[in-house]
Structure 1
């Protein structure tokens, strides 16, 4: 049954979160809100504070300063209650190797206060969801690396938490299992209203199912945005990003474009033949066609004109590279 949370309501609310370790500030004034039922890609360089943030959300590490609320619960005041509504899979996890898959799931469900009468149905559901229904009587210690990963995920979600926090959940899984996992995440979000925060260094994988992106760098949030379902790039309600390719540089093009009221954020690359811009109401093909006609009428040698289909990695690199890093100049035929 879907959660009784209004659509797009903030199920996770973080304000001014600061977390210190001896001689190191892992999180520095972090603030953001995660909508209910969303799937947030948590990304950033090594040491950015991603795991620390997840541990704070899971009420495992009390914040040094700031406020964290999960499903309306203050993590500092009600950590046990937060544990009951969250599931947290760490990058490095442990299993009871002497227990069978069934026993491990039963233990996980009981430890998370699932009523005894409901446990058989819950463990059957979790095992089936991750493809372990045929391994019920097999001991965890005899499972392959990928199957152990699946079991760990099943144990994390067996109590059907409102929030799932997953650190590198696809580690050790083969391509088919990764695709199945992405489908599972989409089902949890769609059918149960589960809110997921998933950390991974494989951005193409996150792009398959994420609805939002949260980028951390040096303990601070540098980007938090909804993603366009079709392109994986930050969504825009009134403007779209376009990329123009020119047969030859046009020295006055930037000035020309900036003089058009519907055009903004003009970015001419160093080669002079690649231009990116935002077009108001550019979701309407007629608006894009009108812009193209105007450019051709002014003798601009346009040889390419399309939506700027940048992927999650493009957006990520834009925000984690140092500001002083120069944009690479694309060669001819650059995609």
Structure 2
């Protein structure tokens, strides 16, 4: 079965990385951080105290999903906790493999990956929801006339080849009495959304807070169908911050201190989106300034949204999505939800 092979491949891949240490050597530093071992002191009362070097690996290139990390570094929140945090981009193994293997203690992931990994014995644990509700969905240029899932029929979808994509598209099309087999699926490879839709793609899965905002700035209006609008089970956490079980067991104080500072970073970004955007632009100057600013203003109120505190995760969200994955044969067994996430390290 294709989905079973996908799960077994993920497990084997992560476990090989865990034993060989592949991936971390190819990590790229971002944001002007000092390399491991360089840090000796910093401000905020830590001038005479050696800081502990810690890495956090991103899931992709830097963007406004990650702003709180850069704020916590720039504002000295990590230094105040005795940490010199280096923000790195994933190597060839990917962020999940680097964290699961213990090569990096913290990383950015998504609930989909953690769910799949946990049911295959990979010890990732989500420690915070970066965004409280799912801001992703299927986007199409307005001239493709895709207003409902029924309109996917006869169109070409550009994706990355995951079984989850067809399952979700099929699920929401089924609710609209439409046939997913009438959709052509194409792997976009390295092409971005804007390049793909100028070629042979009609619609793709995007995060509105980045690609959707970029479309606004380009004056290229979209029809956007948010995944969460079609089922409560699809309003899952994406992205999340993760660590691994060994890190929690052997050094919970590091997890607590990292999360205290990170929470302050995201809280600052919630309250001061323009200042936070400028911090991200300063750290990663190659980013488009207008896009970062517009994206940050859109995303900042959505970090916490209706949750009692930033990062809070709910059992029903984890159970709902994992049940949905199991029902659609994307998991070999149900998820033990209690082991997949924790709120214990949120301040």
More strand by share: 1
TM score, norm. by length of structure 1 = 0.27
More helix by share: 2
Larger radius of gyration between Structure 1 and Structure 2: 1
TM score, norm. by length of structure 2 = 0.27
Higher relative contact order (CA 8 A, sep 6+): 2
